[in-house]
Amino acid sequence: MLSKEEIVKSVPQKGFLGHPKGLFSLFFTEFWERFSYYGMRAILIFYMYYAIKDGGLGLDRSQANIIMSIYGSLIYMSGIIGGWIADRILGTQKAVFYGGVMIMLGHIALSLPGGVMALYASMALIIIGTGLLKPNVSAVVGDLYSDNDPRRDSGFSIFYMGINMGAFVSPLLVGWTQEAWGFHAGFAVAAIGMFIGLVVFVVTKKNLGLAGSQPTNPLLPEEKKKTIFVFTAASIAIAVAGLITYTTGHLTIENFSLLITTLGILIPTVFITYMYRSPKTNADEKSRLLAYIPLFICAVMFWAIAEQSATVLATFVDTRTNLTVGNFEIPASWFQSFNPLFIITLAPLFAILWTKLGDRGPSTPKKFAFSLFFAGASFFVMVLPASADMNTLVSPFWVAFSIFLVVLGELLLSPVGLSATTKLAPAAFAGQTMALWFLASAAASAINAQLVRIYEVVSQTVYFGVLGGLSIVLGVVLLMISPMISRAMRGIK
């Protein structure tokens, strides 16, 4: 097995904005992968519920929102399997490559006129592909630097910019293509994006040196048999369960959503309990893990609200706002570019603020609490437009403002949360921390699969008001217990 020193030595340490050359490869691979994901996502909800005569699939709007939430959840849940495959079988570089290929095939499936079956095939490919690519491409970023390299954090910030730059341009481009040439053309643009990402990755992979070239913890020969057995048994069990529920008429979107919601909550619970009870976890690590639980719960609340920009708020923009400016009709999909646009513009300001404040800056639990206040405020802002008369169109400005507020929260939670996860997870589970952090987003979308059902039956005013209020209440609780959490973090800031 390669040591950290051997890996870092093999990586050209300069060449991209004063950072290791490999960061260039990872930045653009992830730029294009997120380009394809967020571009596709910006039009997918409309593709599902638009009438067939308008180029859509003609699904029920509520069902489309449930499917989007299930999809959003599985995309991040699959990170556990993807992380495991890289760690034990493929190594991260190969996992990223195969993941990218599957994602591209997934987008190609949607760019052909294949109806609902193509939709499900595309989702399956993109779920597995993203599980292989997303946690692993982020993990290689960390591998490029030695543990005490002061450039490490700024390396992650640059990478985060790449994510959001991809997420910013793609809804504009994919949305525009879809308006001009239809949905399938829009999805084709997403496929081309992932193709470019793959080319960049393959051509510039040598910049990564040995980072991610081998599995860190390869399967022993005797474990291989057991693994093949478990995988085969699990696949057969899932196929049989699918067949039985399908033939008996129980395989409905609603029932499936209940399964995903349960899994979304169960998996992180089992995972954290497992780490806590592991003999490899020492007393300090146990205390840190306990401190992590309230942070994780708050992250789930935050992402539940933030992720609804692509479902509930997207539907709101499309159905209840006036998008006509003069002769021009703003595509509803373009609203998905607001979040990354605000992130790109505000992230540097936050960086300056944290440097200015130095040690006087808020602790991690406090930042999480503030992020929940912003998330709550972002839904409160929607109460007024939501209570407008159903037959009049409101200004889309409200949604843009709501997204602005959620981004303030995202900047307090997203970068901090990832780094807190790496510091608070026990050392023996270091390889799984990226996947653990993505489980918060997976749980959030899993819960959203039920929330979007409620959205259809209660008044929208009540919906935004109650969820916004809940976020604020959770934030207050977290603020109150933040000194306790900080103490339990045992020296971690």
Nearer to ligand ASP, 167 or 386 (CB): 167
Which of 164, 177, 371, 445 is in the footprint of ligand ASP by CB under 6 A?
164
Nearer to ligand GLU, 59 or 312 (CB): 312
H/E element holding 19? strand 19-20
Query: In this structure, what are the phi and psi dihedrals at residue 2, rounded to the nearest 5 degrees?
Result: -80, 145
Q: What is the dihedral of CA 37, 40, 41, 46, to 10 degrees?
A: 180
The first and second tokens of residue 49, run together, are 């519920």
Nearer to ligand GLU, 402 or 441 (CB): 441
CB of 337 to ligand GLU, least distance (A): 13
CB of 167 to ligand ASP, least distance (A): 4
Nearest CA-CA partner of 48 in 108, 128, 129, 122:
122
| Bridge partners (DSSP) listed for residue 324 | 329
With a CB cutoff of 8 Å and minimum separation 6, the contacts of 206 are: none
- Would you count residue 374 as binding ligand ASP (CB under 6 A)? no
- SS3 (DSSP) at 220: coil
The binding site for ligand GLU (CB under 6 A) comprises: 34, 163, 303, 414, 438, 441
Question: 370 touches which of ligand ASP, ligand GLU, none (CB within 5 to 8 A by kind)?
Answer: none
Nearer to ligand GLU, 135 or 385 (CB): 135
For ligand GLU, which residue has the nearest CB?
Answer: 441
Rounded distance between C-alpha atoms, residue 191 and residue 185, angstroms: 10
Task: Choose the stretch contacting ligand ASP; rule: CB under 6 A; options: 108-116, 160-168, 348-356, 447-455.
Answer: 160-168
CB of 213 to ligand GLU, least distance (A): 24
Question: 303 touches which of ligand ASP, ligand GLU, none (CB within 5 to 8 A by kind)?
Answer: ligand GLU
CB of 171 to ligand GLU, least distance (A): 13
Burial 340-362 (b: 16+ CB within 10 A, else e): bbbbbebbeebeeeeeeeeeeeb
Nearer to ligand GLU, 7 or 443 (CB): 443
Question: 343 touches which of ligand GLU, ligand ASP, none (CB within 5 to 8 A by kind)?
Answer: ligand ASP
- Using alpha carbons, list the distances in angstroms from residue 129 to 105, 124, 444: 9, 8, 20
CA atoms within 13 A on the CB side of 275: 25
Question: 368 touches which of ligand GLU, ligand ASP, none (CB within 5 to 8 A by kind)?
Answer: none
Which of 55, 294, 340, 396 is in the footprint of ligand ASP by CB under 6 A?
340
Rounded distance between C-alpha atoms, residue 115 and residue 48, angstroms: 10
Rounded distance between C-alpha atoms, residue 87 and residue 93, angstroms: 11
Query: In this structure, what are the phi and psi dihedrals at residue 322, rounded to the nearest 5 degrees?
Result: -90, 110
CB of 141 to ligand ASP, least distance (A): 14
Which of 198, 299, 343, 451 is in the footprint of ligand ASP by CB under 6 A?
343
- Would you count residue 96 as binding ligand ASP (CB under 6 A)? no
CB of 342 to ligand ASP, least distance (A): 9
Rounded distance between C-alpha atoms, residue 399 and residue 50, angstroms: 21
Do 218 and 17 form a contact (C-beta atoms < 8 A)? no
- Would you count residue 339 as binding ligand ASP (CB under 6 A)? yes
According to DSSP, the β-strands at 15-16 and 19-20 are antiparallel
CB of 206 to ligand ASP, least distance (A): 27
- Would you count residue 444 as binding ligand ASP (CB under 6 A)? no
CB of 163 to ligand ASP, least distance (A): 4
Per CB under 6 A, residues contacting ligand ASP are 38, 163-164, 167, 339-340, 343, 410, 414
